[in-house]
Amino acid sequence: MTVGQDAERLAPAHRRSAEPGAPAHRASSVIAAVVGLVGELLITLGVLLGLFVVWQLWWTDVAANRQQTEVVADLGWAVSPDRPAPSPEPSAPEPVHRTDPAPVMAEPAHATTFATLHVPRWGADYLRPISQGTTRRDVLDVLGLGHYEGTAMPGAIGNFAVAGHRTTYGKPLNRIEELVVGDPLVVQTEQAWYVYRVTETLTVGPRQVEVILPVPSQPEVAPTQAVMTLTTCHPMYSAGQRYIVHAVLDYWMPTADGVPPEITGGA
Amino acid sequence: MYGSLWRHLPGPVWVRVGILVVVAAAVVAVCFLWVFPEIAPLIPFNDITVD
């Protein structure tokens, strides 16, 4: 206040004496305006970056979880905690765990959801859709797990390779490090259940595509086994490496025969 | 920038505040629904595939 009054009192004299220097005075006020504008733009940018972090860490989970739950429900045939399989007739024979060649579906169109994944290690309610393709915008960021195009389909001899986010976008593979050798990975398609068991976990570089070869890490070897591979980022919130889980097909059974004991808590 | 925006808004203070709240909500919605999903794949901290 006092400074302002002093300035007003001083102003007329100042202005008179500063008459020849007026352009310099104008220039300094232009600089002040520019600095003020740049400052406001930087504050705006900071707020937008903060918003981006909120979106990435919180909103993508909200949106993707909602969408993936809907996708599973829309399949119609997927067994879920909300939609358990009808209990078999008491006279029905015990479901047979079949190890003969499994029925294999053809690769569907890009971004089509064709299977679900249950992982008992991650809780009885863990259930995620698996869709065709590994592009970010239309598969991994919205539909959850993505099947590497050109790799084997569930139950087929070769490598059924699947990628999924470990953080954000619903984080379908968030707890991948908890998997230990022998854990079941249960895949359901419309026709059949495929129960894989974890054989190996490892971390590799982001360019080591040999982990999704028909025989993982062995180029030019003809596959004789049906294996499954999960890939996700490692460490969390980093793209430095990939966390890999390999599993091998234990058995399969037609969906009409019931539900594998692995996901009903029977084994 | 924001000073001149405030001076150019019509009406009493509560109307101006209301307009700004609506505009801010619209900016957040546009960012969340269209802008951020487009730029996120360009930021390589979330790559999960081997390729």
Give the β-pairing of A128-132 and A145-147.
Answer: parallel
**pLDDT (mean) for A183-205:** 96
pLDDT tens column, A87-143:
666 666 677 888 889 999 999 999 999 999 999 999 989 999 999 999 988 999 999
* Inter-chain residue contact B48 with A37, CB threshold 8 Å: no
Check whether A1 has a pLDDT greater than 50: no
Q: Which of A56, A165, A211 sits opposite B48 (nearest CB)?
A: A165
Q: Phi, psi (5° rounding) for residue A191?
A: -90, -35
Region A35-64: what's the mean pLDDT? 94
Alpha-carbon distance of A5 to A232, in angstroms, equals 66
Structural contact between residues A182 and A197, judged by C-beta atoms closer than 8 angstroms: yes
Q: Do A134 and B44 touch (CB under 8 A)?
A: no
CA distance B15 to chain A (A): 22
Q: Which of B50, B16, B13, B24 has the alpha carbon at shortest distance from A239?
A: B50
B28 Cβ under 8 Å from any chain A Cβ:
yes
Residues in chain B with CB shorter than 8 Å from the CB of A231 are: 48-50
Share of chain A above pLDDT 90, in %: 71
Distance between CA atoms of A45 and A56, rounded to whole angstroms? 16
Q: Which helix (H) or strand (E) holds B16?
A: helix B13-30
Cβ contact A140–B50 (<8 Å): no
Mean pLDDT across chain A: 88
Q: Give the ipTM.
A: 0.91
Instruction: Say if residue A81 is preceded by a cis peptide, omega within 30 of 0.
Output: no
Residue ranges in A18-127 assigned as alpha helix (H) = 22-54, 60-75
**Would residue A246 show up in a list of annotated catalytic residues for this protein?**
no
Task: Tell me the sheet residues that pair with A132.
Answer: A147
In this structure, are strands A226-234 and A241-254 parallel, antiparallel, or unpaired?
antiparallel
Distance from CA of A259 to the nearest CA of B (A): 31
* Gap from A191 CA to chain B (nearest CA, Å): 28
Q: Is A37 on the interface with B (CB under 8 A)?
A: yes
Rounded Cα distance, A236 and A252, in Å: 33
pLDDT score, position A7: 47
- Measured between beta carbons, the chain A residues lying within 8 angstroms of B51 are 134, 206-207, 209
DSSP, res A152: P
Name the CA radius of gyration of chain A, rounded: 30
β A226-234/A158-163 pair status? parallel
| HSE-up of residue B21 (Cα within 13 Å, Cβ side) | 6
- Global pTM reads 0.83
CA distance A202 to A166: 15
Chain B CA closest to residue A208: B50
Q: Please report where in the chains the tokens 């979106």 appear, as a residue.
A: A55
From residue A264, how far is each of A120, A124, A189, A258, B38 by CA, in Å?
A: 9, 8, 17, 10, 40
pLDDT in tens, A148-172: 999 999 999 999 999 999 999 999 9
- Terminal Cα-to-Cα distance of chain B (whole angstroms): 46
Cα separation, A75 vs A91, in Å, equals 29
- The residue of B33, B50, B51 whose CB has the most chain A CBs within 10 angstroms, and thus the best one to mutate to test that interface, is B50
Residue with tokens 């970056």: A49
What tens digit of pLDDT does each residue of B4-50 get? 889 999 989 999 999 999 999 999 999 999 999 888 888 877 778 88
Nearest Cα residue in chain B from A36: B1
* Alpha-carbon span A84 to B49, nearest angstrom: 32
Question: Length of chain B, please?
Answer: 51
* Alpha-carbon distance values, A114 to A118, A250, B11 (Å): 14, 21, 56
Tokens found for residue A26: 């104008």
Using CB atoms, pick whichever of A52, A148, A208 lies closest to residue B36.
Answer: A52
| Average pLDDT value for residue range A242-248 | 96
Cβ contact B1–A52 (<8 Å): no
